[in-house]
């Protein structure tokens, strides 16, 4: 990885992105994911461990890239995560969706909202009216500009990290970035 400025499309924006970790972290890990994607589901546990391990040194950004053609419930699940986020529960919903990937139909999404103690009437109305569809589609458009083709796709400090051979490379990329910064 070189020291060039990060791609502006991969700079975390606290106004629109869902971010965990310190705003001034030296390392930013961005994931483009799909709540219905089996590979994302498998990666979720490892990424959660990474988030916890590097919590004070890395900011983690999750962005939506639902592969609608193969995962028909992924886009609505992304909207549900955004609706939960509007009530301060994005990360809790994010985790529930990955932990219950086979239960992403509207009835289960409402059940997840109820489990999190959300205002369920508001949540249902926002899902029905697709209040957050534009936000999801904007994240998908940025992913398309970045030439994201599969999920999960990861970037460390703006540089693509190939995890096709396993997530150990992701951890090493984060550690290398921390060592350089």
Please state, in angstroms and rounded to a whole number, the distance separating the CA atoms of residues 147 and 144. Answer: 5
- Whose tokens are 């150990």? That residue is 168
CA-nearest of 34, 48, 50 to 101 is 34
Is residue 3 situated within a structural domain?
A: no
In a domain, 117, yes or no: yes
160 in a structural domain: yes
Number of domains in the chain: 1
Q: Identify whether 50 is part of a domain.
A: yes
Q: What is the domain-level CATH number for residue 74? A: 3.40.30.10
- Print pLDDT tens along the chain (181 aa): 445 666 889 999 988 999 999 989 999 999 999 999 999 999 999 999 999 999 899 999 999 999 999 999 999 999 999 999 999 999 999 999 999 999 999 999 999 999 999 999 999 999 999 999 999 999 999 999 999 999 999 999 999 999 988 889 999 999 999 999 8
Which residues are paired to 31 by β-bridges? 62, 154
Whether 68 is in a domain gets the answer: yes
Q: Is 2 part of a structural domain of the chain? A: no
* pLDDT score of 134: 97
pLDDT of residue 165: 83
How far apart CA 157 and CA 42 sit, in angstroms, is 23
Residue 19 within any structural domain of the chain: yes
Asked whether residue 79 is assigned to any structural domain, the reply reads: yes
The pLDDT value recorded for residue 2 is 46
Q: Residue 3: its pLDDT value, please?
A: 52
Write down the H helix ranges in the chain. Answer: 38-53, 74-86, 90-99, 106-115, 120-128, 133-145, 168-180
Domain that holds residue 94: 8-180
pTM exceeds 0.75: yes
């Amino acid at each position: 990885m070189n020291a060039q400025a990060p791609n502006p499309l991969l700079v975390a924006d606290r106004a629109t992105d869902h971010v965990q970790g310190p705003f001034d972290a030296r390392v930013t890990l961005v994931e483009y994911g799909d709540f219905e994607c089996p590979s994302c589901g498998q990666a979720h546990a490892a990424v959660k461990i990474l988030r916890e391990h590097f919590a004070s040194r890395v900011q983690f950004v999750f962005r939506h890239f639902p592969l609608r053609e193969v995962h028909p419930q992924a886009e609505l699940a992304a909207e549900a995560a955004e609706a939960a986020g509007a009530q301060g529960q994005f990360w809790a919903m994010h985790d529930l969706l990955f932990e219950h990937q086979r239960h992403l139909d509207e009835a289960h999404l409402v059940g997840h909202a109820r489990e999190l103690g959300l205002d369920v009437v508001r949540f249902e109305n926002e899902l029905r009216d697709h209040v957050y569809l534009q936000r999801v589609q904007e994240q998908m458009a940025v992913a398309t500009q970045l030439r994201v083709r599969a999920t999960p796709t990861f970037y460390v400090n703006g540089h693509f990290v190939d995890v096709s051979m396993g997530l150990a490379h992701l951890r090493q990329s984060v550690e290398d970035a921390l060592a350089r910064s």
